[in-house]
Amino acid sequence: MLNDQKVSYSGVQPSGNLTIGNYLGAIKNFATYSEQYKCFYCVVDSHAITVRQVPAELRRRTYETLALYMACGLDPEKNTLYVQSHVPMHTELAWILNCYSMFGELSRMTQFKDKSEKHADNINAGLFTYPVLMAADILLYQTDIVPVGIDQKQHVELCRNIATRFNQLFPDTFTIPEPIISKSGMKIMSLAEPTKKMSKSDENTNAVVYILDDKDTIIRKFKRAVTDSDTAVRFAEGKDGINNLMTIYSCFTGKTLPEIEREFDGKGYGDFKMAVGEACADALAPVQEKFRQILADKAYLEEVMKKGADEASYYARKTISKVKRKVGFVI
Ligand code: TRP
């Protein structure tokens, strides 16, 4: 809570191109909170460097991610949109929280285990304490809700544990946040291996639909999507590929699964895949158009970043001062 208003907070990493999984699972829903909540949406560049980045690309993607937030309907007048490294209180609080986070609990984070396997040559300390920085992001703004994809739920749970522990030692410091997992946060899976999450870092680009893919590419990718040897469009156990396509179609059209089964009754997978591709491309077209317009105006983006960082700093400063006082620093 900030000044009697509930707070929504989320972040997106400016690494890799964003996928329809990021869009449907998280970003698309951010705009729905603007009326009821004070909203902070952050481009988390400090998180991104836990794996190696090409500096020029990281910088470019930071602008792109901000532009994408806006293209997805986040108005910078109604939401605080900013870049994590512009507000140094994030890393300040992260250090303090590191001293109240346990090695054991961080070792249990599945994302850490996955990323350590994937980047076995670079298991750095930042990768390990990544969730503590994320907890700092959230707790700095006395956040009530955190809209995220299901893969981030464990990190938000950890954040709650850290905050609860801290509050037991130092009462009334942090609001305890709730994760909000969108209905479609049922994971969007890879089109090539539908038992695996669709991941922006997948090497097989046919497995992944990016928010900025053009219509032909989108349709081609859906046409190639792995399905099964059955022929009926129905949502059922063991039909991971079809289940995933039905979920995607449902998210883009608002149709329910039974409605989709009825719509494609007696039709084959070919027709269905085509329809999913069309629905996806049509839904993304206006987002892409807006994205291009916004990205073309770098000065405007920089203005938005600056204003967002000023707004965020105002609130972050209050929390960090309180925390420093509580832990016994001279301030
Ligand atoms: N870890 C999140 C992800 O990879 C991004 C993130 C960083 C975040 N800080 C956050 C999400 C705070 C929600 C709230 O998707």
10 lines ligand 1 (CB under 6 A): yes
**Burial class of residue 229, CB neighbours in 10 A (0-12, 13-18, 19+):** exposed
What does the pLDDT read at residue 187? 81
User: Can you give the pLDDT at residue 28?
Assistant: 86
Catalytic residue from among 78, 153, 187, 200: 200
Catalytic-residue membership of 200: yes
Q: Do residues 316 and 324 touch, judged by C-beta distance below 8 A? A: no
How many A from CA of 148 to the centre of ligand 1? 8
Predicted TM-score of the model (pTM):
0.91
26 in ligand 1 pocket by Cβ < 6 Å?
A: no
pLDDT for the residue numbered 184: 60
- Specify the residue with its C-alpha closest to ligand 1, atom 6: 11
What pLDDT score was predicted for residue 302?
Answer: 98
* pLDDT less than 50: residues of the chain: none
Nearest atom within ligand 1 for CA of residue 149: 15
Separation of CA 220 from chain center: 26
Q: What is the pLDDT of residue 185?
A: 54
Active site (annotated) includes residue 326: no
Catalytic residue among 38, 115, 221, 273: 115
The amino acid occupying position 123 is I
Task: Establish whether 115 is a catalytic residue.
Answer: yes
- Verify whether ligand 1 is closer than 6 Å to residue 319 (CB atom): no
Give the Å distances, CA to CA, from 83 to 42, 125, 139, 161: 6, 22, 16, 26
Tell which residue, 60, 62, 80, has the closest CA to residue 7.
Answer: 80
pLDDT at 200: 84
Range list of β-strands (E), 120-200: 145-148, 178-181
